């Protein structure tokens, strides 16, 4: 039987967030970045999830699991009270379609294992772990996978080997159960508003790509036993060009959280106004310059080593990043299990002498004869490319005019470095980052492993054997030793250098006092779970001040329009607080005053955070 729960828009607790990037997909199978993960984590339920407070894997749809003695067969027992729901914008209601079952989890696995065109996680992560998955992808037959759903509450998965990290992987969006009948009905349009059926703590109310706008509303039918306990019922993601724009909107009360622009960093930390709002949130993420190892001249390992060792990471962080970040010379950051120490003696960081020695062993000593090199960067990180070029000129004698730098938005950058492009259409170097999906060094090592979706176009070698051995080893000390060998093989004196590690990142953010939750821990692994967050609406209302005055005598109205009765006047010199706003049928914004009457924007003088006042339907 279908169940419907109406949303109360009058009492909506709205979280306002700004985003510079719009997701390329809301299909869990094809998502590959943190941009998509933020939405999917809140729209769909996984077998497990990362605990927002502890970072441990905890039950979600799967309430328990068992592993066979040989480590190959995993049996998950699933909850039976999680509904598939669809949001209806015409009635502002959430409608239950049916319950999520083991067949939905099996459908996700079969779909993932049914094609080689399913992205990095399907082809390079799960295909090697789930028995029959690689064969299914090769044959376009997902039913070849060795997984089954004996009943609605039981899912059985057989692995190719006893992978120590498999439970961690069950929290990834690629494994999220799917409503196959909805995909069959709408094909690639199944994730569109009105079509999409979801299973998470939130549903999709609005997605407007041309405006860069997405709105999620809470799912009142989501089981309270697995809900995070927060009170946010609506999340409005609006487009911002950069942190500078977000900072302005934050100060105007339009955003509840924002990044601090580099140019404002010193001022914000010197201003006591922000004392209870600023946070530094360390991330389990590393930024880097990726290298196309199949594209001359960077197909020469000596050139790759020289370029990496010529880059002064400490000076870069100080001069370009304004101190934001920690210099790193390997890939797996501290805080991840089995990661090497930050000052890893076996990796080569900034070392100009070594850089010159390596370049001398290449076909381009002193950069002589070096062909033109293209660098693509994040849209607001063109200075990173310039700094790299300056370092190469200073330490290696390269001609800066030999380098071209293009700054692209995130989706354009991803498209430009696609492994599916011919080598002559890809750049030589590119900026990117990797954030831990789960708390193990395998999350980072596997990004570098050879495979169909490897962005660095590495050829397989003995280092990949080490990666596979580490993934299979249950002994903690042995795993630490193997991952140390892997990091040395990539970034040691004789390293392969498929990328230039730059820094472990930290987020410098401002968060309104009324917005609370596990900011310091949630999202370090995977993405943010908004059902664990709370907004104190009384505090917000008290702190958002909007004063209305006028320099002439103006009429007040009993409603938002001149067709409503006159309700007195506002005289020059008088100031009244506004408590809400609405869009009138006459095309004007009308301000609701604390006295219960309305005034039109064109005859009012506004002072304060007026545009942040709640929008009254």
- Within the chain, which residues score under 70 in pLDDT? 1-10
pLDDT tens digits for range 301-328: 999 999 999 999 999 999 999 899 999 9
Say if strands 234-239 and 14-19 run parallel, antiparallel, or are unpaired.
Answer: parallel
Q: How far apart are the first and last CA of the chain?
A: 32
State the pLDDT at residue 5: 65
Strand runs labelled E in 129-233: 147-151, 154-158, 202-208, 213-218
- Please state, in angstroms and rounded to a whole number, the distance separating the CA atoms of residues 341 and 326: 13
CATH of 544-612, one of 3.30.930.10, 3.40.228.10, 2.30.30.40, 1.20.1050.10: 2.30.30.40
pLDDT for residue 1: 44
Query: Residue 46's CB: how many other CB atoms inside 10 A?
Result: 26
Give the CATH fold of the 282-506 domain. Answer: Dipeptide-binding Protein; domain 3 (3.10.105)
Say what the pLDDT of residue 382 is: 77
**Is 61 in contact with 46 (CB distance < 8 Å)?**
yes
pLDDT tens digit sequence for 87-144: 999 999 999 999 999 999 999 999 999 998 888 899 989 999 999 999 999 999 889 9
Tokens linked to 297: 């001249």
Confidence at residue 541, expressed as pLDDT on a 0 to 100 scale: 87
4-239+514-537 placed in CATH 3.40.980.10? no
What is the CB-side half-sphere exposure of residue 89 using CA atoms within 13 A?
A: 11
Q: Let me know: does 372 contact 472? Beta carbons within 8 Å.
A: no
Give the integer Cα–Cα distance in Å for 576 and 579. 10
Backbone angles phi, psi at 604, to 5 degrees: -110, 150
Claim: this prediction has a pTM higher than 0.75? yes
Q: Hey, CA dihedral for 430, 434, 440, 442, is it positive or negative? A: negative
CB 391 within 8 A of CB 311: yes
Sorted by sequence, the CB contacts under 8 Å of residue 596 that are 6+ apart come out as: none
Please write the tens of the pLDDT for every residue from 171-201: 999 999 999 999 999 999 999 999 999 999 9
The domain ranges of the chain are 4-239+514-537, 243-277, 282-506, 544-612
229: CB partners within 8 A, 6+ apart: 531, 532
Is-cis flag, bond preceding 594, omega within 30? no
Token pair of 615, please?
A: 């929008």
Q: What is the pLDDT of residue 119?
A: 82
pLDDT of amino acid 526: 87
């Amino acid at each position: 039987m279908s169940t419907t729960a109406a949303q109360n828009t009058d009492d909506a607790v709205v979280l306002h967030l700004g985003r510079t990037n719009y997701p390329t997909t809301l299909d869990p199978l094809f998502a590959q970045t943190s941009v998509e993960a933020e939405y999917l984590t809140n729209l769909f339920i996984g077998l497990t999830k990362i605990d927002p407070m502890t970072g441990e894997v905890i039950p979600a749809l799967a309430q328990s699991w068992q592993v066979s003695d040989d480590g190959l067969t995993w049996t998950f027992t699933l909850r039976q009270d999680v509904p598939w729901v669809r949001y209806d914008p015409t009635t502002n209601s959430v409608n239950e379609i049916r319950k999520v079952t083991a067949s939905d989890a099996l459908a996700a696995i079969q779909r993932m294992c049914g094609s080689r065109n399913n992205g990095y996680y399907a082809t390079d992560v799960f295909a090697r772990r789930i028995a029959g998955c690689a064969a299914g992808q090769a044959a376009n037959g997902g039913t070849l996978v060795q997984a089954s759903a004996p009943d609605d509450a039981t899912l059985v998965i057989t692995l190719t080997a006893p992978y120590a990290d498999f439970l961690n992987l069950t929290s990834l969006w690629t494994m999220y159960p799917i409503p196959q009948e909805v995909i069959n009905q709408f094909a690639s349009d199944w994730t569109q508003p009105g079509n999409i059926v979801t299973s998470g703590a939130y549903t999709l109310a609005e997605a407007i790509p041309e405006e860069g706008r997405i709105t999620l509303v809470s799912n009142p039918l989501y089981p309270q036993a697995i809900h995070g306990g927060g009170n946010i019922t609506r999340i409005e993601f609006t487009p911002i060009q950069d942190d500078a724009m977000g900072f302005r909107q934050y100060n105007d009360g339009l955003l509840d959280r924002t990044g601090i622009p580099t140019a404002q960093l010193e001022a914000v930390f010197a201003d006591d106004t922000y004392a209870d709002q600023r946070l530094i949130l360390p991330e389990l993420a590393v930024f880097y310059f990726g290298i196309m190892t199949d594209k001359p001249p960077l197909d020469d390992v000596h050139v790759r080593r020289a370029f990496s060792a010529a880059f002064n990471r400490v000076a870069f962080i100080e001069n370009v990043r304004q101190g934001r970040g920690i210099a790193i010379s390997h890939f797996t950051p501290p805080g991840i299990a089995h990661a090497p120490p930050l000052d890893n003696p076996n990796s080569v960081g900034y070392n100009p002498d070594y850089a010159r020695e390596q370049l001398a062993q290449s076909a381009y000593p002193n950069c002589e004869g070096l062909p033109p090199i293209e660098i693509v960067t994040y849209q607001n990180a063109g200075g990173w490319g310039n700094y790299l070029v300056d370092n190469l000129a200073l330490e290696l004698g390269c001609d800066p005019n030999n380098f071209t730098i293009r700054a692209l938005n995130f989706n354009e950058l991803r498209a430009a470095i696609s492994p599916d492009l011919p080598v002559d259409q890809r750049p030589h170097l590119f900026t990117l980052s990797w954030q831990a999906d789960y708390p193990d060094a395998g999350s980072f090592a596997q990004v570098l492993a050879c495979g169909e979706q490897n962005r660095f176009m590495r050829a397989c070698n003995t280092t990949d054997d080490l990666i596979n051995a580490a993934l299979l080893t249950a002994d903690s000390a042995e795993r630490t030793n193997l991952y140390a060998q892997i990091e040395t093989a990539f970034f040691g004196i004789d390293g392969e250098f498929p990328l230039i590690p730059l820094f472990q990142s930290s987020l410098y953010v401002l968060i309104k006092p009324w917005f609370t939750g596990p900011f310091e821990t949630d999202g370090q692994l995977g993405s943010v779970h908004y059902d664990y967050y709370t907004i104190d609406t009384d505090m917000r209302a008290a702190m958002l001040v909007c004063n209305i005055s006028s320099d002439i005598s103006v009429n007040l109205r009993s409603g938002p329009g001149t067709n409503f009765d006159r309700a007195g006047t506002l005289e020059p010199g008088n100031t009244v607080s506004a408590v809400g706003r609405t869009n009138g049928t006459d095309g004007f914004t009308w301000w609701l005053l604390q006295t219960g009457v309305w005034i039109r924007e064109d005859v009012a003088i506004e002072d304060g955070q007026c545009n942040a006042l709640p929008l009254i339907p």
